[in-house]
Chain A
Amino acid sequence: MILLTLRDLVFRRTRFIVVSLLGAVVFALLFVMTGLVEQFNLEPVDSVDAIGVEAWVLPESAKGPFTSAPTMPTSTVDAVDAAQASPVVTSRSSLVEEPGTRGEEVIVIGHVIDGLGSPDVSDGRAAAAPGELTADESMGLELGQVVTLGDESFTVVGFTKDTTLLAGIPLVFMPVEEAQQIVFRTTDVISAVLVDGDVGELPPGFKLMTSEEVADDVLEPLEGAIASVDLVRVLLWIVAAIIIGAVVYLSALERQRDFAVLKAIGASDRSLLASLAIQAVLVALVAVGVAAVIQLFLAPAFPLRVRVPARAFWQLPLLAVVMSLIAGAVGMRKVMRADPSQAFAGAA
């Protein structure tokens, strides 16, 4: 039966190539959508990890350090009973590369030089003096480049990797005093306290959020976007199922006489069904294989980082095989219904 299946694929190759390419485009979009969802989910974890602390002390009324605008006196740092505690400033701001041009939205992290919150750099070094900053490499800045944040000028001295939040807003690290000036115009106010090690009882009116809780909190505003992408993924699966189901159905329809002849000469329903099922699976697998290549070219065109997880490269083909068998079921019913007496029917 495998001979029959392969020969039929070759015989109707134009159709199968067109359908495989169509399916490949759909599967490539599925890869990209999967990569986007993966990016949404991992982005806060990576960024909060880059800040590198165990927990954050925040005012009880604050939702989170990145989803609200918490403030507290700088002196709160001294009131926190922890093995290590450092002030931090978190705020949305605008970074201007060239004077007179439109700024790019960034999240400013003001940290103690070489203290808690100082990020690991992928290139250059961490900001270590006033007027220096470290930026996420996705911004495309260059080492030594001078940029403006608020009214202050900064020199880019290093880059961090995978430090974006809220669907691609890059983090910019700088000394905490500079951040206080830009955000609060005073060094008396900070956003939160970063803590590591054992933490004792907090002063009244404050709460502790672990880094995991902070990451979960940052993900919340994106839940609608993630749900939308998931819905698009479901729709793409339906489109892929329709494409593969349609080609299998057409094939079954056109081959009904062949199936009748084969049944008449003793072929079992099972072997004929297997022939059609193999076709559906082959189309799905070829489409997924081509899609895995297409997504390499498609992903860079997206404004957000597309992080296709390794598991997608076996899950997607597996799901595609299952889907193709379900989608092909309508065509396979045609095989079951093929009446062997049709083999005796008149001219084909």
Chain B
Amino acid sequence: MTVGPLIVDHLVVEFVHDGYAIRPLDGLSFEAKAGELVVLLGPSGCGKTTLLSCLGGILTPTSGTIEVGATDVTALKGKDLDRYRREEIGFVFQAFNLIPSLTARENVAVPLTLTGTSRADAFARADDLLEQVGLAERGGHLPSKLSGGQMQRVAVARGLGHDPKLLLADEPTANLDHIQAEAIIRLLQGLRDDGRMIVVSTHDARLVPIADRIVQMVPPHGEPEDPMKKVSYPAGESIFEQGDASDLVYVIDSGEVDVIRVLADGSEEHLNRLGAGDYFGELGPFLGFPRSASVRAHTDVELTAYSARLFRERVLHGD
């Protein structure tokens, strides 16, 4: 099995939600080679699933490109996109997403029949794949009669039905105990060793040691060099912008600031005006989220900027 490199270049996905724009992916770039297991690591909501959707041709990014070998996925449309999804990509969905009315064997065979494989060949292939994932004896069972780990293995077998070059797995170890998770991790290792490229989204650190490449979806959340510093901004200047990475929490020593949300149409919604003694920007650093609003100096302001840890200790707990 050979597959060209995966190149993700300045990928941007922007959604409009409740009138304002959010960017789960904002300029993401990385590359991976054939036979690599790529782990997309990050907390919930950081854009892992959005990236998998883009890689699988399910979601069209706002800008940027994705190349899988010689295929520019972002340029595919209509039937070419359907063919790419049917033939090049294997999906392992979060929560298995097996079709409840079909047996394990049928769940694996159905995608093959979609690619024009005869029913007899599809079922023969399904039997092979179920044997590979150690479920040859369970092929006739409905998903409701399988354990979580077994369902996930069926989902992996389904993803491998047409021998895809690129296997995309969304949280494949979520909701599994350590024994079931270990079986899935071993299975993914084996598939990677066959020369297939595997991209796995997870917030499960158990997958990190086996990854050939880790894509941090959120920049590492380290302690700033200077955990407390005095800063000043003249009236009208931006302190931070909506969507920026969150690092510091600000306490206003003097002056006033405006908290503004930028809407999808480019207009601005004024959320609040804060003065001396108030603080702002604390939730982003606490939770690892990007800034949810912009803050600008209304007058000349003097601020004390804290790291999240120091802010929690000194301001919130008064240590």
Contacts and interface: CB of A to CB of B under 8 A. Distances in A.
Most A CB within 10 A of own CB, among B58, B85, B114: B58
Most A CB within 10 A of own CB, among B91, B95, B97: B97
A262 B119 CA distance: 17
B58 A266 contact: no
Interface residues of A, number: 25
A14 B300 CA distance: 71
A3 B106 contact: yes
B115 interface: yes
B114 A267 contact: yes
B255 interface: no
Contacts of B97: 257-258, 261, 343, 348
Contacts of B110: 3-4, 262
B85 A344 contact: no
A271 B175 contact: no
Contact of B83 (A257, A261, A266): A266
Interface string A256-269: 01100110111110
Contacts of A264: 56, 58, 85, 91, 93
Interface residues of B, number: 32
A271 B114 contact: yes
B267 interface: no
A268 B49 CA distance: 22
Contact of B115 (A11, A257, A266, A343): A266
A129 interface: no
Interface on chain A toward B: helix, strand, loop, or mixed SS?
Answer: helix
A12 B82 CA distance: 29
B101 interface: yes
Nearest to B44: A346
Interface of A: 3-4, 7-8, 10-12, 257-258, 261-262, 264-268, 271, 340-341, 343-348
Interface of B: 49, 52-53, 56, 58-59, 82-83, 85-87, 91, 93-97, 99-102, 106, 110-111, 113-115, 119, 142, 158, 170, 175
14 contacts: A4-B102, A257-B97, A262-B111, A264-B93, A265-B86, A265-B91, A265-B158, A266-B82, A267-B114, A343-B58, A343-B91, A344-B49, A345-B94, A348-B97
